Structure 1
Amino acid sequence: MADQWHKGLVTRIVQETHNTRRFWIQIPELEQFSFKAGQFVTLDLPIHEQKNKRWRSYSIASPPDGTNTIELVIVLLEGGAGTNYLFNHVKEGSELVLKGPLGHFVLPEQLDKDLFFICTGTGIAPFRAMAQYIKAHDLAHPPIHLIYGCRQQCDLLYAAEMWDLEKELTDFHYTPTLSRDDDKWSGRKGYVHLIYEELAQRQPAHFFLCGWKNMIDEAKHRILALGYDKHDIHQELYG
């Protein structure tokens, strides 16, 4: 099924921040779109004659819930043909062609080590799906640290939901950090790296990284320097 193309129907669009939108896509031909939290879908957009230049992949931001509808959260990239098409031409009721689920960026089978979810921007999407899946199924789990970097407070995605989840899900810790000055922000400032370095005290752990290449490259280097093994690091690259 993962290699099959399906017609998707855009059922809802919400402008989440000044440059991000949430898209709900239903796959009417399937009763249930089965996937694992953390996986992605690939869209075939009418933006180029060559297939590989039409394809754009996005992590599924919603947890598996037994339905045929998924949610994507997408940032408008300056000069990006794919996101410009999605933002300027796709409306509620539009059809999209997609395939999936794809990818191996999923929860480990045994939740027996601390989980560090480290992300920037829309890289929060797979971690939102994973955390909500753990909550929905009441899975026994180790401490989970969601460390989320954005420029400004207005850029934070799912912020209210994550604060609520911190209260509702035992041992789930949400730490957003802002890289731009914000006098109204009383939380962490700076980049994600100092935070996981503080929290990771050589306890057994999985590090899941999702975001731009520069963040992932630096994080891998720093995590290895903490004494962890490369097999403890899992990544999903954007861009």
Structure 2
Amino acid sequence: MLQPWRTGKVIRITDETASTKRFWIQVPELESFDFTPGQFVTLDLPIHEKPNKRWRSYSIASWPDGTNVFELVIVLLEGGAGTHYLFNEIKEGSELTLRGPQGVFVLPDPVDRDLFFICTGTGVAPFRSMSYHILNQQVPHQTIYLVFGCRKFGDALYGAELRDLETKVSSFRYIPTFSREEPGEHCTGYVHKVYESICTENKLPSAENPDLLVPKPAYFYLCGWKDMIDEAKQRIQGLGYDKKSIHQELYG
């Protein structure tokens, strides 16, 4: 069911990186803003006469906590009318017109396989929401691999928080990989070699033929730029996984 347009109040804004801000939005008319991790909201911004030119959708970066507040993480896009409005005109106390939650990019039920969350940029937002929801609600699960493609160290949104989470939860693995950093103790390059390496190492003997190794069951969730998602879908199927194992959320 399509949600009605509501008024949200921006109660907090912080800089996450030089070009990325976190916005906490309260929906005063609701006691609780209920959503499923992975869903998004649409903002109606006063930047154009035509409604469809004003609408901008963003994945919710927080997790359901019973309050009427949720978080968005937004990157400033060069020439982007929507993000320039949000960065330059919106202050703490500003109101926004919004609709949501929306979307079907949500966790499987049950979470009975390994989860690969593969993302670039602010595509980490729904996976932060999903990961914390699984862990906070003690949802039975296998291993969670959050593979985050960044250019430089400073681009790893929520990096310190996710590294800390990895130290506390043995089933959660946070693997950022940096395409424009020199090799070191961190991963370098693109996301594809990271999940391909894990999947290759995790193969299991086939039930029909124990001498034959087959891919360990897994779900793949992809969020980010189209080029990354298109390449990932091809590579994941090349590893032997079915198309039905792959879920995607495009942006840009």
TM-score norm. by structure 2 comes to 0.92
Q: State the Cα RMSD in Å.
A: 1.0
SS in structure 1 at match of 2:176: strand
Give the AA of the match of 1:228.
Y
Cα deviation, residue 169, structure 1 = 2.0
After TM superposition, which residue ranges in structure 1, 4 or more long, deviate above 6 angstroms?
Answer: none
Per-residue CA distance 1:74-93 (angstroms, 9 max, x = gap): 00000001001000100000
2:115 corresponds to: 115
Counterpart Cα distance in 1 of 2:168 and 2:116: 18
Q: Are residues 1:232 and 2:245 paired?
A: yes
Bigger mean CA deviation after superposition, 163-172 or 64-73: 163-172
2:75 corresponds to: 75
2:198 corresponds to: 199
Kindly name which structure, 1 or 2, has the bigger radius of gyration based on alpha carbons.
Answer: 2
SS in structure 2 at match of 1:108: coil
SS in structure 2 at match of 1:167: helix
Counterpart Cα distance in 2 of 1:155 and 1:2: 34
Per-residue CA distance 1:86-124 (angstroms, 9 max, x = gap): 001000000000000000111101110110000001100
Cα deviation, residue 3, structure 1 = 2.2
Using the aligned pairs only, state the percent identity.
63
Query: Any conservation in 2 of the 1:62–1:128 contact (CA below 8 Å)?
Result: yes
Bigger mean CA deviation after superposition, 161-170 or 7-16: 161-170
Per-residue CA distance 1:23-57 (angstroms, 9 max, x = gap): 00000000001100110000000000001010000
2:8 corresponds to: 8
2:189 corresponds to: 190
Counterpart Cα distance in 1 of 2:85 and 2:244: 37
Cα deviation, residue 2, structure 1 = 4.1
1:213 corresponds to: 226
1:43 corresponds to: 43
Per-residue CA distance 1:111-144 (angstroms, 9 max, x = gap): 1011000000110000000111111112221011
Question: How many residues end up aligned between the 2 structures?
Answer: 238
Counterpart Cα distance in 2 of 1:164 and 1:181: 22
Bigger mean CA deviation after superposition, 193-202 or 212-221: 193-202
Give the AA of the match of 2:117.
F
SS in structure 2 at match of 1:104: coil
What runs of 5+ residues in structure 2 fail to find an aligned partner?
204-214
Counterpart Cα distance in 1 of 2:27 and 2:115: 32
2:207 corresponds to: none
Query: Any conservation in 2 of the 1:152–1:182 contact (CA below 8 Å)?
Result: no
Counterpart Cα distance in 2 of 1:181 and 1:134: 32
SS in structure 1 at match of 2:190: coil
SS in structure 1 at match of 2:224: strand
